[in-house]
Structure 1
Amino acid sequence: MQFGIFTVGDVTPDPTTGRTPTERERIKAMVAIALKAEEIGLDVFATGEHHNPPFVPSSPTTMLGYVAARTERLILSTSTTLITTNDPVKIAEDFAMLQHLADGRVDLMLGRGNTPPVYPWFGQDIRQGIPLAVENYALLHELWRSDVVDWQGRFRTPLEGFTSTPRPLDGVPPFVWHGSIRSPQIAEQAAFYGDGFFHNHIFWPPEHTERMVSLYRERFAHHGHGEPHQAIVGLGGQVFMRRNSQDAVREFRPYFDHAPVYGGGPSLEDFSEQTPLTVGSPQQVIDRTLSFRDYVGDYQRQLFLVDHAGLPLATVLEQLDLLGEILPVLRKEFDARRAPGVPDAPTHESLRAAATDS
């Protein structure tokens, strides 16, 4: 089981002080959070991709390349890479380059994003979102596996005798997670290729997450990649911890009430009951996180969102220290409950070994 954190890179005022960090401060904070993630023993750091205020991570591979140079063990990923508005050729080249620089500690999550204006900014039509995701990934998949590509599609100019450089490290492309909240077509896409499926899991009730993951597992088996329990699943989640649950609720409430993604909606208590958001003691976070397995089955990657809504860096680092304290318990309990035959999350080393054996 891999554990990690993901950031959306929002620049949000702190509702308790009224102060808004500068873009530079937020970018540097994201790096500090990534370094802290390795320090406390997490496996994965993932950054989102956004091209509009109030977000700053417009160039994920730049961020991850910098983090790669300052870490030794951390897997570097995205949450997400926009497969609809990025050129698949550029994705292929950027992430292969990052693979080499990071000695293979790289995978990526592909998604359509949640900002409609991004489509025309990059010359695309949001009404073609699903067809773009399907076609662009088909090209990306081929670019990483064929040294010379001849290709023609609907949404970009044809390629003739094209070679993407550098080639993937050791001839092994980065592992791909397909991220989706509500699109069965993306679950189908992940299943068709035998890739991973990541459910954001943040704003939705367990019943919805269960349906999406079940669909992916069924289609994974249908396409001949293994049994349903062998499909590769990842989940998101949100936590805020203090030693005492009442302190956690009291401290987090103003951030919840004023955050752009929450404000004006359900109360903190209602939202916590209806979604995986967990605000409370470390033991409550352990219990809630372990419960995810009850409705999605055994899964391979759990990422937590801890640095949004204007929370200051010092508070986020305190959250990571608490997460580091409960990490051994989460690892032990998930391992003890895992059914026989459930695979580990793919890594560059495991994919390279599988390629050598085949």
Structure 2
Amino acid sequence: MRFGIMTLIDNVPDAASGHLLTPHERLHEVVELAVLAEELGFDAFGVGERHGPPFLSSSPPTVLSAIAARTHRIRLFTTVTVLSTLDPVRVAEDFATVDQLSGGRLELTIGKGNAPEPWQLFDRNPDDQYALQEENYELLRRLWSEEQVTWSGRFRPPLKDATTLPRPYQQPPTIWHGSATSERSVELAALWGDPVFAANVIQPVANYAKLIDHYRARWADYGHDPSAAVVGSGGTLYAAADDRTARREFAPYYEAAVTARDVPGNNTPFRSLDEAADHGPALVGSPERIADKILQQHVAYGHALQFFSVDSAGLPFHRKAEVLRLTAAEVLPQLRHELPDALPWPSAAAAPPAPSPATEGVR
């Protein structure tokens, strides 16, 4: 199994102290968290996309480019890119640039989104969200795998002999399909033989397992090799020396986050941390408990990629760093032993490459 850290770059006051970072401080904190994740041996870092308060993640390619400049091995994910509201030509150009700057480390995750702001900002009709997602995805695939693309569709002007630049460093980058609830999203992934990423944050584990089972069934129906289906999963993370300490320290942050985000489509049935840790997907407790819970979820999901979110209600950077260090030291080794890698990525812990003569001295 591979492991990553993900963020939506929410910027809210610390639930314990009330301190609020400036946008400048919060964005730089994200870059430093990615640098730390690579130093600790995590395999990936993901930045999601949102276009309304309290999130600062309206431009994932910009943030990922900053991270690319400070890292060497870690895979750079979008978690997710709201492709249903974006121009696929712009997406192809922006993320191919990230792929080039990072030396081929981009992993694009697409989704239709579950927040209202993009539909208003980009003048899209939410009734068309699935049709937009499917059409934009098919065009993006062509733009990354072909040159001189001629195309026409329902939602954007036609293209004639269009070649987007730069071309991706990879041929082409992997595209994941992210979903919290939608069978139609995983249907698209199964049709094209792509990996899926289940949010694993809000709903009961059984709901995500049902979604993944549907993906695997449709994958087989489309004639793909069942052993080649790839699944990723997320999860809220807070690790401490023992379960009691973890729950005591994290409860104010979890409960503040639940209260702040209690809106239709983005809430959770688990209103307390005890409920979320005991009966939901939250990964909160001792290293042993967290490892055991991921192993249990692996039985349900069969996932090869585990992402962790350490963002909750303004949790300060030093606490996030402590959680990552403890997880890297005591959770990841056990899981890597019991769940060998199924993704063909270079090791995040490998030494950075030596600069080539063409780039040496350029800093």
User: Do residues 315 (structure 1) and 313 (structure 2) align?
Assistant: no
**Match for 1:249: what amino acid?**
R
1:32-87 Cα distance to aligned partner (Å, 9 max, x none): 11001001000000001111111111111111111111111100011011101111
Matches of 2:279 and 2:150 in 1, distance apart?
A: 48
How far does residue 24 in structure 1 lie from its aligned partner after superposition? 1.1
Paired residues of 1:95 and 1:174 also in contact (CA < 8 A): no
Q: Secondary structure at the match of 1:30?
A: helix
How far does residue 271 in structure 1 lie from its aligned partner after superposition? 2.2
Instruction: Give 2:179's aligned residue.
Output: 180
Instruction: Give 2:286's aligned residue.
Output: 281
Instruction: Calculate the TM-score normalised by the size of structure 1.
Output: 0.91
**Match for 2:242: what amino acid?**
N
How far does residue 122 in structure 1 lie from its aligned partner after superposition? 0.5
Instruction: Give 2:66's aligned residue.
Output: 66
Q: Secondary structure at the match of 2:120?
A: helix
Matches of 1:272 and 1:249 in 2, distance apart?
A: 9
Instruction: Give 2:145's aligned residue.
Output: 145
Instruction: Give 1:344's aligned residue.
Output: 342
Instruction: Give 1:199's aligned residue.
Output: 198
Q: Secondary structure at the match of 1:302?
A: strand
**Match for 2:249: what amino acid?**
E
Paired residues of 1:48 and 1:80 also in contact (CA < 8 A): yes
The partner residue of 2:253 within 255, 264, 289 is 255
Query: What count of residue pairs does the alignment treat as equivalent?
Result: 339
1:69-218 alignment runs, 5 A limit: 69-169=69-169, 172-218=171-217
Q: Secondary structure at the match of 2:84?
A: coil
1:116-135 Cα distance to aligned partner (Å, 9 max, x none): 12112101011111111111
Matches of 1:125 and 1:345 in 2, distance apart?
A: 37
Matches of 1:33 and 1:323 in 2, distance apart?
A: 14
**Match for 2:90: what amino acid?**
K
User: Do residues 305 (structure 1) and 309 (structure 2) align?
Assistant: yes
**Match for 1:44: what amino acid?**
A
Matches of 2:316 and 2:47 in 1, distance apart?
A: 18
Instruction: Give 2:328's aligned residue.
Output: 324
Instruction: Give 1:230's aligned residue.
Output: 228
1:242-290 Cα distance to aligned partner (Å, 9 max, x none): 1021111111111112112369962221122331102211111111111
1:310-352 Cα distance to aligned partner (Å, 9 max, x none): 10011001111011112111111112xxxxxxx8225599xxx
Instruction: Give 1:47's aligned residue.
Output: 47
Q: Secondary structure at the match of 1:203?
A: coil
**Match for 2:323: what amino acid?**
Q
Matches of 1:257 and 1:222 in 2, distance apart?
A: 42
How far does residue 309 in structure 1 lie from its aligned partner after superposition? 1.8
Matches of 1:237 and 1:195 in 2, distance apart?
A: 21
Instruction: Give 2:8's aligned residue.
Output: 8
User: Do residues 239 (structure 1) and 237 (structure 2) align?
Assistant: yes
Instruction: Give 1:352's aligned residue.
Output: none
Over 3 Å counting, the alpha-carbon distance change for 1:187 and 1:224 in structure 2 is same
Paired residues of 1:282 and 1:322 also in contact (CA < 8 A): yes
How far does residue 168 in structure 1 lie from its aligned partner after superposition? 2.1
User: Do residues 22 (structure 1) and 22 (structure 2) align?
Assistant: yes
Between the aligned residues of both structures, percent identity stands at: 40
Paired residues of 1:191 and 1:219 also in contact (CA < 8 A): yes
Paired residues of 2:178 and 2:199 also in contact (CA < 8 A): yes
Over 3 Å counting, the alpha-carbon distance change for 1:346 and 1:177 in structure 2 is farther
**Match for 1:86: what amino acid?**
L
Matches of 2:143 and 2:127 in 1, distance apart?
A: 26
Over 3 Å counting, the alpha-carbon distance change for 1:154 and 1:99 in structure 2 is same
Q: Secondary structure at the match of 1:84?
A: helix
- Most deviating of 265-274 and 102-111: 265-274
Paired residues of 1:204 and 1:274 also in contact (CA < 8 A): no
Instruction: Give 2:354's aligned residue.
Output: none
Matches of 2:283 and 2:34 in 1, distance apart?
A: 22
Q: Where does the alignment leave 5 or more consecutive residues of structure 1 unmatched?
A: 336-342, 350-358
The partner residue of 1:296 within 282, 301, 304 is 301
**Match for 1:193: what amino acid?**
W
Paired residues of 2:283 and 2:293 also in contact (CA < 8 A): yes
Over 3 Å counting, the alpha-carbon distance change for 1:33 and 1:193 in structure 2 is same
